[in-house]
């Protein structure tokens, strides 16, 4: 008998979402227009502490819109975190700009400020003024935003803050997604809250958000007929998806608490195992712990590797995943420049994401724990 699969991170619905969707159906707002869209935007902006938000079809779309609004052109240099999902960097290629990758530091696993400044200075020496910085809060852990924003101001480079995995995470109470010129969220099915698929662009620049909404609805000019003066996109979120999002926001605090409890569960189980390391929160940092991640050093575990653990769990139909493969190692970006240490490569080699859904049952946790105990002979 095949065991029911334990997923890495699955959608977790509350009670309000279906009521909202039924209301959208009853009122016939089934298109990329309707009251739940504006309500979702208002609630997101209020939660994140920004002046405005635009909801769209994905986090990737939101990054693309930010690049468009910043007028990124062909061959412009865009500095991007290397250790991330490809959705952070693909939009650079959409605009035929040049991605330059920056490696990670050990405290948060995110963009290293020292490597970032090295990339900026070297680009300037090459006669290339970087036009944007894309920094990512991976797995819910905030990046070193105070240091990165200081460099942004020093060199006059706008920041796009990819908080796709970090809704609910903060630095000294300030929300991820509210530090940069633009913040980006994702509501993909595996995120801490979901609209099945979707994203949002955040900013304190209300004119920029208005521009994002314009571009996301095919850049239709203000005319009684269909007139278009620039390239636009079919990026706007539907009212039905936004209805789900409004409902999901009501349970966000519970979802964050559950994800953090998952991380505590794994840390209590494996925290004393030699060669197993968890990412700790720096002082003043609060992570939503979207995914519970650990590093497994086979030189200290008696030869037990990340893959040994992943395959042992997979054998029991428990989904795990290696940490992100850095962008500078991807064939698509083989010619791209890369700055900093190769710490992201170490993270990829040693790192594993464990099942982290807020809807994990006690029985599922016990199944996972039993397999981990078997692997590490606990």
CB 108 within 8 A of CB 142: yes
Give the C-alpha separation, 260 to 140, whole Å: 10
Give the C-alpha separation, 83 to 13, whole Å: 30
Task: Name the DSSP class of 228.
Answer: B
Give the C-alpha separation, 124 to 108, whole Å: 27
Q: What is the pLDDT of residues 38-52, one digit of tens each?
A: 999 999 999 999 999
Q: What is the pLDDT along the chain (378 residues), one digit of tens a residue?
A: 668 999 999 999 988 999 999 999 999 998 888 999 999 999 999 999 999 999 999 999 999 999 999 999 999 999 999 999 999 999 999 999 999 999 999 999 999 999 999 999 999 999 999 999 999 999 999 999 999 999 999 999 999 999 999 999 999 999 999 999 999 999 999 999 999 999 999 999 999 999 999 999 999 999 999 999 999 999 999 999 999 999 999 999 999 999 999 999 999 999 999 999 999 999 999 999 999 999 999 999 999 999 999 999 999 999 999 999 999 999 999 999 999 999 999 999 999 999 999 999 999 999 999 999 999 988
Give the C-alpha separation, 285 to 45, whole Å: 21
> What is the CATH architecture of 252-376?
Alpha-Beta Complex (3.90)
Q: Which residues of 229-253 are buried (b: 16+ CB within 10 A; e: fewer)?
A: eeebbebbbbbbbbbbbbbbbebbe
3-state helix, strand, coil in the chain (%, to 5): 40, 15, 45
Does domain 16-249 fall under CATH 3.40.640.10? My reply is: yes
Structure tokens at 116: 């970032």
Taking the domains of the chain in order of start, what are their residue ranges?
Answer: 16-249, 252-376
Quote the crossing angle between the two packed helices 113-125 and 145-155, to the nearest 10°.
20
Between CA 288 and CA 265, with CA 161 as vertex, the angle to 5 degrees is: 15
Give the C-alpha separation, 197 to 188, whole Å: 4
Sign of the C-alpha dihedral, residues 353, 355, 356, 357? positive
Measure CA of the first residue to CA of the last residue in the chain; give whole Å.
27
Confidence (pLDDT) at 1? 61
Q: What is the pLDDT of residues 156-196, one digit of tens each?
A: 999 999 999 999 999 999 999 999 999 999 999 999 999 99
Q: Which residues contact 4 (CB under 8 A, 6 or more apart)?
A: 317
């Amino acid at each position: 008998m095949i065991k029911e699969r334990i997923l890495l991170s699955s959608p977790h619905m509350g009670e309000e979402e279906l009521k909202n969707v039924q209301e959208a159906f009853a009122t016939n707002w089934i298109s990329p227009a309707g009251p739940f869209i504006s309500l979702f935007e208002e609630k997101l902006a209020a939660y994140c502490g920004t002046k405005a938000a635009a909801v769209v079809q994905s986090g990737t779309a939101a990054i693309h819109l930010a690049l468009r609004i910043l007028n990124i052109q062909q061959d412009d240099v865009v500095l991007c975190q290397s250790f991330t999902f490809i959705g952070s960097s693909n939009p650079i290629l959409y605009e035929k700009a040049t991605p330059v990758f920056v490696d990670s530091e050990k405290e948060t696993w995110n963009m290293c400020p020292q490597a970032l400044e090295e990339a900026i200075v070297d680009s300037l020496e090459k006669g290339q003024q970087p036009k944007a910085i894309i920094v990512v809060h991976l797995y819910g852990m905030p990046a070193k935003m105070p240091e990165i924003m200081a460099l942004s101001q020093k060199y006059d480079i706008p920041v796009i803050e990819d908080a796709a995995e970090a809704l609910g995470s903060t630095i000294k109470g300030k929300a991820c997604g509210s530090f940069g010129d633009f913040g980006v969220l994702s509501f993909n099915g595996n995120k801490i809250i979901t609209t099945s698929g979707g994203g949002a662009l955040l900013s304190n620049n209300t004119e920029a958000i208005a521009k994002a909404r314009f571009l996301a609805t095919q850049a239709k000019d203000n005319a009684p007929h269909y007139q278009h003066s620039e390239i636009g996109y079919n990026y706007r979120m539907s009212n039905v998806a936004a209805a789900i999002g409004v409902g999901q926001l009501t349970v966000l605090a519970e979802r964050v608490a559950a994800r953090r409890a998952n991380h505590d569960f794994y840390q209590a189980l494996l925290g004393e195992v030699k060669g197993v390391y968890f990412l700790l929160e720096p002082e003043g940092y609060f992570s939503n712990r979207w995914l519970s991640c650990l590093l497994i050093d086979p030189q200290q575990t008696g030869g037990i590797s990340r893959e040994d653990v992943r395959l042992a769990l997979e054998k029991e139909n428990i989904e795990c995943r290696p940490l992100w493969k850095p962008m500078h190692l991807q064939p698509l970006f083989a010619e791209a420049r890369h700055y900093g240490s190769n710490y992201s490569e170490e993270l990829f080699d040693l790192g594993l994401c464990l099942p982290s859904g807020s809807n994990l049952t006690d029985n599922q946790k016990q199944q996972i724990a039993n397999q981990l105990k078997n692997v590490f002979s606990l």
